[in-house]
A and B are shown apart, each in its own frame.
Chain A
Amino acid sequence: MLEARLEQANLLKKVVDAIKDLVQDCNFDCNDSGIALQAMDNSHVALVSMMLKSESFSPFRCDRNIALGINLGSLTKVLRCAQNEDILTLKAEDAPDVVNLVFESAETDRISEYDIKLMDIDQEHLGIPETEYAATITMPSAEFQRICRDLSALSESVSIECSKEGVKFNCQGDIGSGSIHLRSHTNVDKPELNVEIDLTEPVSLTFSLKYLVNFCKASGLSNQVKLCLSNEVPLLVEYALSNNSYLRFYLAPKIGD
């Protein structure tokens, strides 16, 4: 059986909120290392990969592999019934029909309990190899969100160019063009504002802003976001969580036909 207790319901609320517009039905794969999710969007150009390590829960117990097929719309409805600070416990039997969620208020003696019916989801899993990317940019997640939002007002696509000069986000649209240039930057007092660019070779790739704006819904999960790029391969956008847990998004680049 599965029993996983999260100190704050907020974490799961934010994760689900960040991915629910991209993917609808997905399997939460539970085993002794934690709870993982991998799902592609309908057009198969974007992929979500979530890992909540067992260390992110206390306690965490999962005796055998369980796939919980959950509709994220349903999960969102139930998670709205939890206060952000509630303690959240996920429970399921070994061959479950439902997943059970218990919300406990640390301040009051209120305990609420919900069951969500599970679905059989036949999901394709992709093997994503560990990749040495040509450029890795670590930057404030709010800054990345702002760039994507600002440029999406002008264009459907953004080109991300990374060179030893820094990183340039460029777009061209009907009304004109825009570009934002960032260089490596260290703020000793506010390290969350740091921009770090790790480059082994120059990279230039174009991506759909619609998807990037969508990924940025995860900004509330982490102060910093990591963008990993190599020419001609999908972009990795990573939001690191505590205990080596993470929320990652992959996006296929736009290429000439």
Chain B
Amino acid sequence: VLLQKNLKNYYIKA
């Protein structure tokens, strides 16, 4: 199964 992670896992809150 392939999953997409929430973008918040890659980028920090500004």
Which residues of A pack against B, CB within 8 Å? 40, 43-47, 124-129, 157, 206, 208, 233-234, 250, 252-257
1/0 per position for B1-14, CB-CB distance to A under 8 A? 11111111111111
Apart from the given pairs A129-B11, A234-B10, A254-B4, 5 other A-B contacts in the complex at a CB distance below 8 Å? A44-B7, A44-B8, A252-B4, A256-B1, A257-B2
Pick from B2, B6, B8, B12 the residue with the most CB of A within 10 Å.
B2
**Interface contact tally, CB-CB below 8 A:** 55
Q: Considering the chains assembled together, what is the distance between the CA atoms of A234 and B2 in angstroms?
A: 15
Pick from A43, A127, A208, A252 the residue with the most CB of B within 10 Å.
A252
Q: Considering the chains assembled together, what is the distance between the CA atoms of A157 and B4 in angstroms?
A: 11
Q: Would you call B11 and A127 a contact (CB within 8 A)? A: yes
A255 partner residues in chain B, CB cutoff 8 A: 2-5
Q: Would you call A256 and B10 a contact (CB within 8 A)? A: no
B7 partner residues in chain A, CB cutoff 8 A: 40, 44-47, 126, 234, 250, 252
Closest 4 CB pairs of A and B: A254-B2, A127-B14, A125-B14, A126-B11
B14 partner residues in chain A, CB cutoff 8 A: 125-127
Closest CB of chain A to B11's CB: distance in Å? 4
B6 partner residues in chain A, CB cutoff 8 A: 44-45, 252
Which residues of B pack against A, CB within 8 Å? 1-14
Closest CB of chain B to A61's CB: distance in Å? 26
Q: Considering the chains assembled together, what is the distance between the CA atoms of A44 and B9 in angstroms?
A: 10
A253 partner residues in chain B, CB cutoff 8 A: 4
Q: Would you call A125 and B1 a contact (CB within 8 A)? A: no
Q: Would you call B3 and A126 a contact (CB within 8 A)? A: no
Given A127-B11, A127-B13, A45–B2 Cβ distance below 8 Å? Answer: no
26 contacts between A and B (CB under 8 A): A43-B4, A44-B6, A45-B4, A45-B5, A45-B6, A47-B7, A124-B8, A124-B13, A125-B13, A126-B7, A126-B8, A126-B11, A126-B14, A127-B14, A128-B11, A129-B11, A157-B2, A208-B4, A234-B7, A252-B6, A252-B9, A255-B2, A255-B3, A255-B5, A257-B1, A257-B2
Q: Considering the chains assembled together, what is the distance between the CA atoms of A208 and B2 in angstroms?
A: 10
A44 partner residues in chain B, CB cutoff 8 A: 6-8
Q: Considering the chains assembled together, what is the distance between the CA atoms of A44 and B5 in angstroms?
A: 8
Q: B3 contacts which of A40, A129, A254 (Cβ < 8 Å)? A: A254
